[in-house]
């Protein structure tokens, strides 16, 4: 059975992007040595990626090549995607997708991108673990790590690691 994982960065005040969806504040930390927690090492463990439409559009509009050629990629959206960047499969409802994902036997699943999709999976009891990278930035507003939808959760802290330049990695389990 596949584990469904989150791996996301947030500002100290709990935002994953600015109001205009910029990640410039985060890209200032691209030179950090994350060691055993490096994004590339994480991505190598992942066999399936799930993202929402906003995350897909952000990646599709980026001029860099599609980075997910070795993974199966699902985009959760209710609108068609014309001329997709990369090999993707569209899903327009989450319950069936969750059943499909948990039945996978070939490796872990990454819920990539925004808090809306991660909150939907949390509400449905389908997020197993999350790694949150807290960056020492105060954005003052933007896209929240977890949208306020009234859902309550008490995850178990698995580990905490202080990283370079004041960054902190938190790992939680929801099981």
Distances (CA, A) of 90 to 11, 35, 51, 161, 169: 30, 34, 10, 36, 31
Cross-strand bridge partners of residue 56:
none
Ramachandran category for residue 151: left, alpha or beta (phi over 0 → left; psi -120 to 50 → alpha) = beta
Residue closest to 92 by CA, chosen among 116, 112, 76, 111: 76
> Structural domain boundaries of the chain?
4-173
pLDDT for the residue numbered 166:
96
Task: Write phi, then psi, for 48 (nearest 5 degrees).
Answer: -135, 140
Q: pLDDT tens across 56-90, in order? A: 999 999 999 999 988 999 999 999 999 999 999 99
Q: Check whether 115 has a pLDDT greater than 90.
A: no
Query: What is the average per-residue pLDDT within 124-152?
Result: 94
Q: Dmax over Cα atoms in the chain, in whole Å?
A: 42
119 touches 149 (CB < 8 A): yes
Q: pLDDT tens across 33-46, in order? A: 999 999 999 999 99
Q: How far apart are CA 20 and CA 82, in angstroms?
A: 23
Fill in the DSSP letter of residue 65.
P
* CATH classification number, 4-173, choose in 3.40.430.10, 3.40.50.970, 3.30.360.10, 1.10.760.10: 3.40.430.10
pLDDT for the residue numbered 42:
93
- Provide, rounded to the nearest whole percent, the portion of the chain with pLDDT above 90: 89
pLDDT for the residue numbered 149:
86
- For the chain, the average pLDDT equals 94
pTM above 0.85, yes or no: yes
pLDDT for the residue numbered 113:
81
pLDDT for the residue numbered 136:
98
Query: What is the average per-residue pLDDT within 147-175?
Result: 94
Q: pLDDT tens across 91-106, in order? A: 999 999 999 999 999 8
pLDDT for the residue numbered 132:
96
Residue closest to 47 by CA, chosen among 68, 76, 75, 77: 68
Buried b (16+ CB within 10 A) or exposed e, 72-88: bbbbbbeeeeeeeebeb
């Amino acid at each position: 059975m596949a584990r469904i994982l989150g791996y996301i960065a947030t500002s100290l005040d709990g935002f994953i992007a600015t109001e205009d969806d910029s990640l410039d504040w985060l890209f200032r930390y691209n030179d950090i040595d994350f060691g055993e927690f490096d994004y590339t090492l994480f991505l190598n463990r992942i066999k399936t990626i799930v993202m929402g439409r906003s995350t897909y559009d952000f990646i599709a509009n980026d001029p860099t090549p599609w980075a997910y050629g070795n993974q199966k990629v699902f985009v959760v959206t209710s609108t068609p995607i014309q001329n997709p960047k990369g090999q993707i499969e569209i899903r327009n409802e989450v319950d069936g997708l969750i059943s499909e994902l948990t039945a996978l036997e070939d490796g872990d699943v990454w819920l990539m991108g925004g808090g809306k999709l991660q909150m939907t999976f949390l509400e449905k009891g389908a997020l197993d673990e999350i790694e949150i990278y807290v960056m020492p930035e105060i954005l003052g507003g933007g896209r929240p790590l977890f949208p306020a939808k009234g859902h309550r959760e008490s995850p178990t802290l698995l580990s905490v690691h202080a990283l370079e330049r004041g960054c902190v990695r938190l790992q939680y389990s929801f099981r």
